[in-house]
Chains A and B, each alone.
Chain A
Amino acid sequence: GEDVEQSLFLSVREGDSSVINCTYTDSSSTYLYWYKQEPGAGLQLLTYIFSNMDMKQDQRLTVLLNKKDKHLSLRIADTQTGDSAIYFCADVSGGYNKLIFGAGTRLAVHP
């Protein structure tokens, strides 16, 4: 079945850029998503990219998509302590609103 994989942990210094990587297996993916989960909260959609795009920029967020390698990345510029959270890569699989999530990357931002 479809699978989404991502590294589990990333630690960065405040003000640096963070890059979170993800790989997926479903070659028919139309949209790919990045969700954020803060402690004790539900998930919040950060951004998404359509499969015919290579890059999407949204303020401090840049999403890069390499369809050939099935690789997705999320870059957060000027990372702040408020960006500390778990970031999930997700792919729609098999119908409406059925998202396949990666395991999540815990981003820790230190001074």
Chain B
Amino acid sequence: KAGVTQTPRYLIKTRGQQVTLSCSPISGHRSVSWYQQTPGQGLQFLFEYFSETQRNKGNFPGRFSGRQFSNSRSEMNVSTLELGDSALYLCASSPGMGGNTGELFFGEGSRLTVL
């Protein structure tokens, strides 16, 4: 079974630009969640989608948005990039139902550098 695939793996943008990151979950998984990892703040939850609906959201400004498609693939977008948005963005998938809701399968991440 293929794992979680994130594209692109690396990208460099300048301040003020926008970026779109893509995530393909494990086949059959209906939940996709996104996390931001930085040296200063560690791992922080961005949002989670299940069956095209956002079910949960972290404490990030509105510049961070996401969506999920009917095939469960997800994208996240960051507009008006700031230097502090430089981070590793991790996508994780799970079946999305059941009691053990923290059992996540992570992709290798998209490393964003903002200059």
Contact = CB atoms under 8 A, between A and B. Distances in A.
Contacts of A100: 45
A17 to B, nearest CB: 26
15 contacts: A30-B99, A33-B103, A42-B92, A43-B43, A45-B105, A48-B103, A90-B102, A92-B101, A92-B102, A94-B56, A95-B101, A97-B33, A97-B92, A98-B48, A99-B43
Nearest to B90: A42
Nearest to A41: B108
Contacts of B66: none
B103 A45 contact: yes
B55 A42 contact: no
Nearest to A50: B100
A31 interface: yes
A99 B31 CA distance: 14
B31 A42 contact: no
Contact-residue bracket for chain A: 20 to 34
B90 A98 contact: no
Contacts of A88: 43
Nearest 9 A/B pairs, CB to CB? A42-B106, A101-B43, A92-B102, A97-B33, A43-B106, A95-B56, A97-B48, A42-B108, A98-B45
A6 to B, nearest CB: 10
Interface in B68-113: 90, 92, 94, 96, 99-109
Interface string A57-90: 0000000000000000000000000000000101
B107 A42 contact: yes
A96 B104 CA distance: 11
Contacts of B105: 45
Contact of A97 (B43, B99, B101): B101
Contacts of B45: 98-100
Residue of A35, A43, A101 ringed by the most chain B CB atoms within 10 A: A43
Given A42-B90, A88-B43, A103-B42, A97 B58 contact: no
